[in-house]
Structure 1
Amino acid sequence: MNLIREMRDSLVSHHLTRKKFRRIIGESGKNAKDFIHLPFSFFSILFLHVLYTKNILFSSIKYDFLNMKILIIEDNRILAKNIREYLTLKAFQAEVAFDGIMGKEKANSEHFDVIVLDINLPGKDGLTLCQELREVGNNTPIIFLTSSNTSKDVVKGLNIGADDYMGKPFDFEELISRIQALGRRNIPNKITTIQVGDIMIDTTKRLVTRKNETIELSTKEFDLFQYLVQNRGNPVDRQVLLEKVWGEFDAYMFSRTVDVHISTLRKKLGDGIIETRKGFGYVVS
């Protein structure tokens, strides 16, 4: 890992000399020898850096947190982009949302390992967003960013389900450490339940019940219902459902598949659970 840090630090400062590069590569093992004769420029070194981060160049180098995916929800665009670039440099995947509404949509439609969430956001503030994510069973670890000097928001955030917080300004290396600490958590036995009316959804066991009676759903029916519940209150159209639940889209499927599954779900779940918003799609209220 020291070699990786040295390479990256040199890349950032543009001070990676040919001699230093050869020394680093030479110390990393014979697998690198074929790359020594690449044209020496910042861009060729950047190419090698990509190989490092994807664990292609040296099989002996392991990343404990390779491919961790981080969602940054921050309205300060400069800060958000700087966090994203720094995380990318450290071999994380990172996406950015600049307001609470966009952040909620991303958090509920994609898998993330950690969410970095600002408290003061336009559209929907961070505390409300955190609470809504927890209410629909989204248990992605959340780190709050706050510029407040009082503990009131911090205490409230932790009480509604946040996992950690950092005051602004903060050190990027400390943020990385906090993200990694949350990434180490292993909670396979935690049961996640979501309630919709008198229906309970256990997302861990993939079980749907009403008054302790199991409602038998097929795999796709469960996935479809769960996606609608995770986007509760927001209509989702057929094309989005096909792409998110089935992973594909074509004209034939568009005409029938979603409607058939929705019809079956309504029969099993009862009236009033899944509504149709004409021109917008289906919604669980």
Structure 2
Amino acid sequence: MNEKILIIEDEKKLSNVIELYLKKEGYLTYTAYDGFEGEKKIEEEEFDLIILDIMMPNKDGWSLLRKIKSISPKTKVILTTARGEEEDRVFGLELGADDYMVKPLSMRELILRVKLRLKSKESSSLEKFNFKDITIEIENRMVYEEEIPINLTPKEFDLLIFMIKNPNQVFKREQLLDKVWGYDFMGDTRTIDTHVKKLREKLKFCNTYLKTVWGVGYKLERSNQ
């Protein structure tokens, strides 16, 4: 196991505990204790996963999350924060975070989430999809339609991949939030409608095959291929 994990956390005691547990699991660990130090490390080196505190001095986690996803979109990010409000959770996931944990952290749960995120990264890295006029490169998180690259946000990409992997199945909006956003929360499901709308605007493929099932949710129809 050679996965590299960066811990960006200004509470040094907590950072040390996280690092200890990760090292016991065989991960290579790196630490940063404020936003500036974290930004420097992600600019200098690529990591498989980053555990990112939101509230930090010098540069907050939101800014760093945007930076991470812009320069290394395939890097998994688990946000940590003392604030558990739904608005914060949704905002972080919208920005492209892969998971969200509220402090105080359970180390057992954190390690489990790290393993799950790295497993999903490993299983997807070798995959490539070709449907109709679109090509999707999982590792590079790139989508091409008629050989033209299409710019998708991290969650637009994740939603598209999930639907393609589960064709002809109807999913409720709550199910999509849980499966794609990786956090089971009882909140506003309009974010799904927004992302579907954006996918349809950007990809003719989605305009044709990503169907609304009225009163239920969405499905990707592939029976016409």
TM-score bracket relative to the smaller structure: 0.5 to 0.7
Q: Distance in 2 between matches of 1:69 and 1:137?
A: 14
Tell me how far 1:99 sits from its aligned partner. 0.8
Q: Distance in 1 between matches of 2:60 and 2:49?
A: 18
User: Aligned runs of 1:213-232 on 2, under 5 Å?
Assistant: none
Q: Distance in 2 between matches of 1:192 and 1:104?
A: 22
RMSD: 1.9
3-state secondary structure, aligned to 1:115:
strand
Q: Distance in 2 between matches of 1:137 and 1:94?
A: 18
Identify the match of residue 124 of structure 2 among 158, 183, 187.
Answer: 187
1:85 aligns with 2:16: no
Tell me how far 1:82 sits from its aligned partner. 1.0
1:196-253 Cα offsets, whole Å, 9 max, x none, are: xxxx9x9xxxxxxxxxxxxxxxxxxxxxxxxxxxxxxxxxxxxxxxxxxxxxxxxxxx
Q: Distance in 1 between matches of 2:73 and 2:44?
A: 10
Equivalent residue letter for 1:110: E
Larger Rg: 1
CA contact (8 A) 1:73 1:96 kept: yes
1:35-94 Cα offsets, whole Å, 9 max, x none, are: xxxxxxxxxxxxxxxxxxxxxxxxxxxxxxx22211000000110011111111221111
CA contact (8 A) 2:6 2:50 kept: yes
Alignment-derived partner of residue 113 in structure 2 = 178
Q: Distance in 2 between matches of 1:121 and 1:113?
A: 22
1:102 aligns with 2:37: yes
Tell me how far 1:123 sits from its aligned partner. 1.2
CA contact (8 A) 2:21 2:111 kept: no
Q: TM-score, normalised by structure 2?
A: 0.54
CA contact (8 A) 1:100 1:125 kept: yes
Misfit runs of 4+, over 2 Å: 135-139, 186-193
User: Aligned runs of 1:43-58 on 2, under 5 Å?
Assistant: none
Alignment-derived partner of residue 155 in structure 2 = none
3-state secondary structure, aligned to 1:184:
helix
Alignment-derived partner of residue 239 in structure 1 = none
Alignment-derived partner of residue 83 in structure 2 = 148
CA contact (8 A) 2:5 2:48 kept: yes
Q: Distance in 2 between matches of 1:155 and 1:144?
A: 12
Q: Distance in 2 between matches of 1:136 and 1:87?
A: 24
Tell me how far 1:137 sits from its aligned partner. 4.0
User: Aligned runs of 1:197-276 on 2, under 5 Å?
Assistant: none
1:114 aligns with 2:69: no
Alignment-derived partner of residue 130 in structure 1 = 65
CA contact (8 A) 1:108 1:138 kept: no
1:71 aligns with 2:6: yes
Greater strand fraction, Structure 1 or Structure 2 = 2
Q: Distance in 2 between matches of 1:163 and 1:137?
A: 13
CA contact (8 A) 1:133 1:139 kept: no
Tell me how far 1:184 sits from its aligned partner. 0.9
Structure 1 residues 137, 85: closer, same or farther in 2, change over 3 A?
closer
Structure 1 residues 150, 144: closer, same or farther in 2, change over 3 A?
same
Q: TM-score, normalised by structure 1?
A: 0.43
Tell me how far 1:150 sits from its aligned partner. 0.9
User: Aligned runs of 1:1-40 on 2, under 5 Å?
Assistant: none
Tell me how far 1:173 sits from its aligned partner. 1.1
Which runs of 5 or more structure 2 residues have no equivalent in the other structure?
A: 126-136, 143-148, 152-225
CA contact (8 A) 2:8 2:34 kept: yes
